Amino acid sequence: MRAMVFEAPGRPLRPVELGRPAAGPGELLLSVRACGVCRTDLHLLDGEVPVSDPPRVLGHQIVADVVGENRRVGVPWLGWTCGRCRYCLSGRENLCPDARFTGCDIDGGFAEYAVADERYCFPIPAGYPDAQAAPLLCAGLIGYRSLRMCGDAGRIGFYGFGAAAHILTQVAVAEGREVYAFTRAGDEEGQEFARGLGAAWAGASDQAPPEQLDAAIIFAPVGALVPAALAAVVPGGTVVCGGIHMSEIPAFSYDLLWGERTIRSVANLTRADGEQMLALAPEIPVETAVTTYPLEAANEALEDLRAGRFLGAAVIVP
């Protein structure tokens, strides 16, 4: 089968021909229909998040047909957990210290075929075409977990308006919240995109919003946004860091945290997050904006993501 493999940090993915993987007990052999590209893939590529035992097939937002069966499943970032540790036993399998992640510890979906533990796969809502469903699996699921961490916040800021924020804006607006979208300075197209999805306001991340926010989610991997977001939220407000990696957070005055403001991260996802979000998405209904790339153009998709050259999400279609 054709696959794009990670060999070492700082090197582009390499097109290779691999043997078709074999499913073990409890695993599904999957024919990949689409696989979303995530900012985490850039962190893996850049060596900011380590990849186990390269060469490794990246890609953790897989929409696939189960080979030999008439059904379609989604494979998310969370690929396996121990089921026995204090985290697994308390509904926090996202924090399992032995968790294995798709497209990082387990070969992922930038390939024609993949294998996944059936217990961590989700059914894909019937109305979604393959490519449109793919971004739901990480941008959607981990974004949804981040949104839940904002509690009942009525005014929410999204810092970084990419794949996750474009999905969450639709969820938040449907829940009756007001969305404030922060993009890179000068990204008029991104701000227009956010307003088109229902954002009450869109501006640059170095601007103060017109109203104080009840909560903010930071999707951009930029540590300097933490004090900026703290300054934008009300006393008692929460700032959620939704990405797996962030540049160093600059020192800031305690005044910004004072007033019972909270900063927290969101790590990975639980299967319950996935079940909830994938049930909710078709009800709203969440519509994803995708730019598709053939498998061999995976490096181009990653560099376009880095440069912000598309709106919404990039999806590889093998």
Residues that bind Zn ion (CB under 5 A): 38, 40, 81-82, 85, 88, 96, 138
Minimum CB distance to Zn ion, residue 231 (Å): 28
Minimum CB distance to Zn ion, residue 38 (Å): 3
Nearer to Zn ion, 47 or 196 (CB): 47
| Cα distance between residue 170 and residue 259, in whole Å | 30
Nearer to Zn ion, 88 or 241 (CB): 88
Minimum CB distance to Zn ion, residue 162 (Å): 11
Minimum CB distance to Zn ion, residue 248 (Å): 22
Nearer to Zn ion, 191 or 270 (CB): 270
Nearer to Zn ion, 39 or 261 (CB): 39
Nearer to Zn ion, 201 or 219 (CB): 219
Q: Which of 310, 209, 223, 203 is closest to 265 using CA atoms?
A: 223
Minimum CB distance to Zn ion, residue 218 (Å): 15
Backbone angles phi, psi at 306, to 5 degrees: -60, -40
| Cα distance between residue 133 and residue 73, in whole Å | 10
Nearer to Zn ion, 83 or 151 (CB): 83
Nearer to Zn ion, 143 or 157 (CB): 143
Minimum CB distance to Zn ion, residue 115 (Å): 19
Residue 99: both structure tokens together: 């968790």
Minimum CB distance to Zn ion, residue 305 (Å): 11
